[in-house]
């Protein structure tokens, strides 16, 4: 027949379509094809399969004779290219996820792309889209046409900090101040949203325009944020390994950073990175922490941490060090037992790395995505240094769910002894050494005291402790209104799960955040980049958006090193 060029399933569809039409509609000659061939954005009951169009479909295509009585159509040569600009064929699309979503064919046509692409062009369509998004991102960055920017201001806790920041912007060098030199530095914590995780959880980003979710659009934005905030130390989470290897590391090195990276141990190819300005620090040691243990069923998750010991430059004391830790704890709200164990493993490594010869600890900063909300048992444990978890439901540890589904009570102890970490969150070997040294002194004065100590420790087995006096950089609520601060926002929630904890120094400043947990020596908080509310974020369509290309906001704080 005259329509032999059409694939067989197209011929069959034509017959079925005429049968379905039932002669109830009239096809007018002067009507655009779109008015009579517009199909709904879902599969009709009589067409249960997608309809690919062959590459030569538009060449000398004639309307098939099954239109019967209208001879005018048979005597006319219809070129598909001639009318695709003014009409739409709403063919079923297997990639559509809901009735309300437009087919990709329409999206391509509305964005100015030809719908009659060759198979080779269709194969490279994703790459072309990413290149297009990259050019859009670069163009917007060049011309400053970003819309809906979140306004965040710097909060100062010290007037001297403001003066120092102005001097820094003018290019002053801390090393030039002589014997009165102080060491000030900034730390950023930022979950940059792994592209793989974004695509695996696309339901969280239905509110976003599609072009904003491509990595080629997102990475220039993320890099721009890092450049603008210009932190001396970066603690990044969800850093995808292939992107780190090909783009992220080299881009950050060109900005003067040295990068350390630890990838997750499982199938998901992302991890944690700590990057520091070589002009401000030198590396003493890099210590990755793997939370997966094949011989312990509880620890079957692939989260990781990274602990660095850094030597500040331009400082008077040669033995001064700062410990920087970064982690991304398990998300699952119903597995508080795993979260607490992962946290204990990280704290044990920090205790090992930050320990000094006199038994004290050097200043400590812990950054990361803890997947726990302010006020939760896990959060209180970090800040208060103790937690009695007896009778605590497993789903209430992180406070992520208002009505927790994990009702099983935490076991005592939470983790097995073979993990090698005590209830004080230190490695057992070092704990035993300390106990032996203390035992020798006690034995001389009171021989029976050792048994009493052991008995007491057994009774306190449901109590976790750590020896760091930590404070949070952020207050988590706006003091004027009591409205919560937000560090992450997507289609399902907007909460705080990202933190910067630090060992606060006691310098007599009672109103400084963290002064209640102070000790001699440590870090003084000079300022921080203010957070925003959920309402603020939805004024720019949540996260990610045109200017902020992660579903998390970067946290940024400035510290001053206080010596003992």
**Predicted confidence (pLDDT) at residue 471 exceeds the cutoff of 70:** yes
Give the model's pLDDT for residue 441: 53
Backbone angles phi, psi at 238, to 5 degrees: 55, 45
Q: At 509, list the tokens.
A: 């400043």
CA distances from 328 to 232, 237, 346, 498 (A): 21, 6, 11, 9
Residue-averaged pLDDT of the chain:
77
**Predicted confidence (pLDDT) at residue 127 exceeds the cutoff of 50:** yes
Can you tell me whether residue 207 is helix, strand or coil?
A: coil
State the Cα–Cα distance between residues 367 and 362, nearest whole angstrom: 16
Q: What is the pLDDT of residues 509-532, one digit of tens each?
A: 444 454 443 344 699 999 999 999
**Integer Rg of the chain from CA:** 31
Q: Are 519 and 468 in contact (CB under 8 A)?
A: no
DSSP state of 425: S
pTM value?
0.71
Give the model's pLDDT for residue 171: 52
What are the extents of the domains in the chain? 184-427+460-508+517-562
DSSP state of 559: E
Task: Tell me the DSSP string of 429-487.
Answer: HHHHHHHHHHHHHHHHH-TTHHHHHHHHHHHTTTEEE-S--EEES--SB-TTT-PBPBS
DSSP state of 319: T
**Predicted confidence (pLDDT) at residue 422 exceeds the cutoff of 80:** yes
Give the model's pLDDT for residue 563: 81
Q: Residue length, the chain? A: 564
**Predicted confidence (pLDDT) at residue 9 exceeds the cutoff of 70:** no
Question: Given pLDDT bands bounded at 50, 70 and 90, which one contains residue 483?
Answer: very high
Cis ω before 465 (30° cut-off from 0):
no
Q: What is the pLDDT of residues 368-381, one digit of tens each?
A: 999 999 999 999 99
Give the model's pLDDT for residue 500: 99
Q: Are 489 and 537 in contact (CB under 8 A)?
A: yes
Who has greater pLDDT, 134 or 405? Answer: 405
**Predicted confidence (pLDDT) at residue 35 exceeds the cutoff of 80:** no
Give the model's pLDDT for residue 461: 81
Provide the 10 A C-beta neighbour count for residue 422. 21
User: Which residue reads 């993320």 in tokens?
Assistant: 222
Give the model's pLDDT for residue 46: 43
Where would I find the beta strands (DSSP E) of 264-303? 270-277, 281-290
Q: Are 527 and 154 in contact (CB under 8 A)?
A: yes
Give the model's pLDDT for residue 7: 56
**Predicted confidence (pLDDT) at residue 169 exceeds the cutoff of 60:** no
**Predicted confidence (pLDDT) at residue 288 exceeds the cutoff of 50:** yes
For strands 184-191 and 233-240, give the pairing.
parallel
Cis ω before 544 (30° cut-off from 0):
yes
State the Cα–Cα distance between residues 187 and 401, nearest whole angstrom: 30
Give the model's pLDDT for residue 561: 95
Question: Given pLDDT bands bounded at 50, 70 and 90, which one contains residue 402?
Answer: confident
Output b/e per residue, 198-208; b: 16+ Cβ within 10 A: beeeeebbeeb
Give the model's pLDDT for residue 158: 79
Can you tell me whether residue 502 is helix, strand or coil?
A: strand
Give the model's pLDDT for residue 405: 83
For strands 270-277 and 281-290, give the pairing.
unpaired
Who has greater pLDDT, 103 or 195? Answer: 195
- Nearest Cα to 156, choosing from 545, 513, 523, 403? 513
CATH class, domain 184-427+460-508+517-562, is alpha beta
Question: Given pLDDT bands bounded at 50, 70 and 90, which one contains residue 6?
Answer: low
Out of 51-55, 130-134, 325-329, 508-512, the most confident range is: 325-329
């Amino acid at each position: 027949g005259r329509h032999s060029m059409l694939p067989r399933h197209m011929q069959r569809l034509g017959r079925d379509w005429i049968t379905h039409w039932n002669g109830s509609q009239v096809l007018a000659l002067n009507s655009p094809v779109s008015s009579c061939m517009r199909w709904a954005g879902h599969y009709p009951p009589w067409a249960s399969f997608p309809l690919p169009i062959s590459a030569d479909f538009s060449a000398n295509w004639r309307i098939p004779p099954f239109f019967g009585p209208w001879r005018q159509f048979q005597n006319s040569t219809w070129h598909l290219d001639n009318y695709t600009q003014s009409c739409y064929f709403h063919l079923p699309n297997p990639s559509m996820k809901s009735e309300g979503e437009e087919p990709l064919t329409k999206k391509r046509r509305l964005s100015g792309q030809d719908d009659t692409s060759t198979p080779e062009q269709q194969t490279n369509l994703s790459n072309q889209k990413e290149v297009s998004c990259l050019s859009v991102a670069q163009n917007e960055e060049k011309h400053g046409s970003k819309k809906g920017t979140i306004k965040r201001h710097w909060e100062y806790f010290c007037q001297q900090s403001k003066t120092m920041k102005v001097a820094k912007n003018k290019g002053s060098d801390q090393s030039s101040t002589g014997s009165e030199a102080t060491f000030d530095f900034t730390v950023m914590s930022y979950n940059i949203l792994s592209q793989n995780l974004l695509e695996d959880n696309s339901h969280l980003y239905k509110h976003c325009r599609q072009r904003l979710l491509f990595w080629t659009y997102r990475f220039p934005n993320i890099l721009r944020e890092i450049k603008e905030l210009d932190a001396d130390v970066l603690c990044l989470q969800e850093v995808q390994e292939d992107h780190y290897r090909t783009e992220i590391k080299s881009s950050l090195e060109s900005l003067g950073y040295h990068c350390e990276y630890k990838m997750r141990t499982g199938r998901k190819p992302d991890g944690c990175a700590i990057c520091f300005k070589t002009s401000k620090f030198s590396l003493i040691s890099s210590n990755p922490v793997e939370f997966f243990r094949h011989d312990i069923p509880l620890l079957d998750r692939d989260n990781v941490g990274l602990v660095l010991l850094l030597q500040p430059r331009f400082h008077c004391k040669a033995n001064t060090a700062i410990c920087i830790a970064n982690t991304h704890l398990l998300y699952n709200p119903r597995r508080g037992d795993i979260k607490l164990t992962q946290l204990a493993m990280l704290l044990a490594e920090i205790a090992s790395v930050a320990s000094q010869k006199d038994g004290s600890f050097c200043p400590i900063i812990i950054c990361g995505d803890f997947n726990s909300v302010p006020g939760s048992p896990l959060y209180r444990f970090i800040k208060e240094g103790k937690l009695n978890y007896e009778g605590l439901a497993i789903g209430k540890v992180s406070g992520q769910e208002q009505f927790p589904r994990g009702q099983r009570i935490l076991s005592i102890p939470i983790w097995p002894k073979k993990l090698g970490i005590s209830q004080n969150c230190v490695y057992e070997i070092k704990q035993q050494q300390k106990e032996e040294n203390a035992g020798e002194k006690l034995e001389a004065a009171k021989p029976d005291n050792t048994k009493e100590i052991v008995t007491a420790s057994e009774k306190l087995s449901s109590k976790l402790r750590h020896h760091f006096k930590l404070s949070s950089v952020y207050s988590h609520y706006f003091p004027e209104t009591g409205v919560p601060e937000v560090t992450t926002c997507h289609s399902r929630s907007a909460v705080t799960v990202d933190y910067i904890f630090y060992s606060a120094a006691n310098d007599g400043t009672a109103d400084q955040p963290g002064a209640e947990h102070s000790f001699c020596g440590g870090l003084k908080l000079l300022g921080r980049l203010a957070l925003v509310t959920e309402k603020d974020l939805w004024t720019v369509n949540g996260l990610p958006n045109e200017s902020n290309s992660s579903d998390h906001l970067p946290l940024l704080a400035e510290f001053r090193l206080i010596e003992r």
